[in-house]
Amino acid sequence: MKLSIVIVNFNVANYLEQCLISVEKAIQDIDCEIFVVDNNSVDGSCKMIRRLFPTVILIENNSNLGFAKANNQAIRKATGEFILLLNPDTVVEKGTFRKAIEYISSQADFGGLGVKMIDGNGLFLPESKRGFPSPKVAFYKLSGLATLFPHSKTFNKYHLGYLNNEEINEVDVLSGAFMLIRKNVLDEIGLLDETYFMYGEDIDLSYRIVNAGYKNIYFPKTTIIHYKGQSTQKGSLNYVILFYTAMKIFAQKFFSKTHARTFLFFLNIAIYFRAGISLARRIFAKSLYPILDFITVYTGFALFSPAWGKFRYQNSNYDFPAFYYDVNLPIYSIILVLTLYLSKTYIRPISIKKTFESISIAMLINLIIFALLPYEFRFSRAMFIVGIVWTFIFIPIVRFLLHFIDKQDFAIHLKHKRRTIIIGNEDECNRVSNLMKESNKNDSIIGFVSPYADDNQYFIGNLNQLSTIIKIHKIEDIIFCERDIPEHVIIKEMILISTKNVECKIAPQHSLFIVGNNSTNSVSKVYTVNINSIALERNYVAKRIFDIILSLMILLFTPLLSFYFGSKTANLCKNCLKVIRSQKTWIGYNSICNFDDLILPKLKPCIISIVNRNEIDLDKTKEINIMYAKNYSVFNDLIIVFKNFNLVCS
């Protein structure tokens, strides 16, 4: 066996499917075995592998064992001359494995090899090549100096920013996302250190490869896509903590006590510095909206109050009492902020519609309180109306200003149709177009682009004209049909357009999802068919309210219902209590189907199934379940209850 590929998966089924599709294309001329070690995923990953990739050797764990332990499980069973550790959120070119194996085989002292990696928008990933994290190197990275001086040989030794991204170089550390290692080297130095759970395993293994006298090679003659960030968003506090934990293990293992203490001292300084910035940024981002809303409301009332008082009472010296400014206005403002908070209006991206609805509720509450106040504490009703108008005008204005200042932290949900093109053959473009319509994605499909230079009858252009098409049609999103375009062509085009502020996605053949990278600074996302309308927060809340109200109504009329249900009345009451305690729901899916290709939104076990007739076949039952999830409404639940009321005590 020439090559053994090891992929560790944890709840990224759609990425894994795309990865395995590209891997199978790349191993056609290589004697190879593929291992997937699943760390107790709950997203249908294992079912997908068994159905679509029967030749893959699947190892299923009953818990999340971490990256190192899971890889070692497969490596111990591997028989290949070379071992490749590969992330599930990657896409490889057709010639990637052949080129990498040929180069690492060219020198006996080449122990490990990594390749050039780009993200989902075609931008180079600096972790493709790295240096060892000495105390200073780790400090420069965690303190942010490496980011400020990306090409400095002093400050950015961690990502070796001074080395040319397009040249083959000897490096210290290989990335665990793509790490090709000679099997005999692993036999000599040992497998991954299972002390690490996440991060650091690749650094540790790379360090041992170099210490054993072998070289680690950065090989940019082939490129892979790595949709990084599936487990922990880079730059987050959680990532900093995990990275620190890994570096601590590394220091205690390989450094002398003196150097380890120095290393950890610098790390601690960097950790507190980064954690402080991260915490301050989070507090600032979360509290800015409520603070500005309070200031906006209070300021509006306070600005107009003196002028109104002078006009109303024809007294140039009149002003409202101190109680009005010190008690009334703060209470009004606090009620508004609390209402917006409890209505989850501050969740990003901000919804202006939801903001208006919450302001209306808050002002209604304030109006009721105003009406109930003793007469001596009531002030001008006209002033109250002016304040309401001010609030409705200026709170949205503040939101739009923040949105245009910082669209990442203060984004507003705008119904903007993103201008999209689909690249592929006619039938596949139509399939992907229909998929997007089914998913209710708010995109405007400008047209289809042919992969071939001589086919322009049905298309707005061909792949050779892509840059011009983007410019002329102001394209924002590009979807590549994986069936019709080889991976190396997709990667090449993504790199060429990486500076054009265009988002790239890939639509795997036959799949009901589109893989994409939302932005280079955020976690990658999978765009799937929208069969989850029942999982939308408003529908989830509506369903829960329906369940509780129905349960309370049944309990209220239990004495009358007991004449109808007889001995089953006790079971009816038990069902009501289970629903109230959120152990069950009244209406739910029929569970006789096995959903291998679609994962429906989770629901509690149901008392009444939406399909209760035995004569309906499995395909029809599956279709009804999908339609229920896709087009959920409380009214439908109510109809099902009325039609099957005899089953409420089942």
| CATH number of the structural domain spanning residue 192 | 3.90.550.10
Close Cβ partners of 296 (under 8 Å, ≥ 6 residues apart): 390, 391, 394, 395, 398
pLDDT, mean of residues 380-407: 83
Do 87 and 214 reside in the same domain of the chain? yes
Which pLDDT belongs to residue 113?
A: 96
Query: Is residue 412 in a domain?
Result: no
pLDDT digits (tens, 9 = 90+) for 155-187: 888 788 888 999 999 999 999 899 999 999 999
Instruction: For residue 524, name the pLDDT band (cuts at 50, 70, 90).
Output: very low
Do 100 and 206 reside in the same domain of the chain? yes
Number of domains within the chain: 4
Residue 69 CA, chain-centre distance (Å), reads: 25
pLDDT digits (tens, 9 = 90+) for 597-643: 445 677 888 888 887 655 556 667 777 777 787 778 888 888 888 88
pLDDT, mean of residues 580-589: 90
Query: Is residue 140 in a domain?
Result: no
Question: Count of residues for the chain?
Answer: 650
Do 459 and 499 reside in the same domain of the chain? yes
Do 394 and 441 reside in the same domain of the chain? no
Do 181 and 305 reside in the same domain of the chain? no
Do 214 and 80 reside in the same domain of the chain? yes
Query: Is residue 448 in a domain?
Result: yes
Do 362 and 297 reside in the same domain of the chain? yes
Across the chain, what does the average pLDDT equal?
82
Do 17 and 31 reside in the same domain of the chain? yes
Query: Is residue 22 in a domain?
Result: yes
Query: Is residue 267 in a domain?
Result: no
Task: Report the C-alpha gap between 589 and 89 in whole angstroms.
Answer: 31
Do 68 and 195 reside in the same domain of the chain? yes
Domain boundary among 183, 198, 227: 227
Q: Helix H segments across 314-380?
A: 322-323, 329-342, 352-372
Do 106 and 214 reside in the same domain of the chain? yes
Which pLDDT belongs to residue 532?
A: 47
Task: Report the C-alpha gap between 207 and 214 in whole angstroms.
Answer: 10
Does the pLDDT of residue 526 top 60, yes or no?
no
Domain boundary among 365, 384, 405: 405
Which pLDDT belongs to residue 244?
A: 67
Asked if residue 248 lies in contact with residue 264, where contact means CB atoms within 8 angstroms, the answer is yes
Degrees (nearest 5) of the Cα angle 305, 307, 310?
A: 105
**Helix or strand or coil: residue 628?**
helix
Question: What domain range includes position 371?
Answer: 283-405
**pTM of the entire structure?**
0.65
Which pLDDT belongs to residue 478?
A: 93
Query: Is residue 260 in a domain?
Result: no
Instruction: For residue 549, name the pLDDT band (cuts at 50, 70, 90).
Output: confident
pLDDT digits (tens, 9 = 90+) for 55-68: 999 999 988 888 88
Instruction: For residue 261, name the pLDDT band (cuts at 50, 70, 90).
Output: confident
Domain boundary among 495, 528, 561: 528
What CATH number is attached to the domain comprising 475? 3.40.50.720
Do 496 and 461 reside in the same domain of the chain? yes
Residue 162 per-residue DSSP state: T
Do 59 and 184 reside in the same domain of the chain? yes
Query: Is residue 150 in a domain?
Result: no
Which pLDDT belongs to residue 167?
A: 93
Query: Is residue 500 in a domain?
Result: yes
Q: Which helix (H) or strand (E) holds 537?
A: helix 537-556
- Please report, for residues 231, 281, 574, the alpha-carbon distance to residue 236 in angstroms, rounded to integers and kept in the order given: 11, 11, 45
Which pLDDT belongs to residue 178?
A: 96
Residue 371 CA, chain-centre distance (Å), reads: 46
**Tokens 């108008």, residue?**
389
pLDDT digits (tens, 9 = 90+) for 280-313: 777 887 888 899 999 998 888 888 888 777 777 7
Classify residue 56 as left (phi > 0), alpha (psi -120 to 50) or beta. beta
Bigger pLDDT: 119 vs 628: 119
Q: Among 128-137, 241-250, 640-649, name the one with the lowest average pLDDT.
A: 241-250
Asked if residue 514 lies in contact with residue 432, where contact means CB atoms within 8 angstroms, the answer is yes
Bridge-partner residues for 246, per DSSP?
none
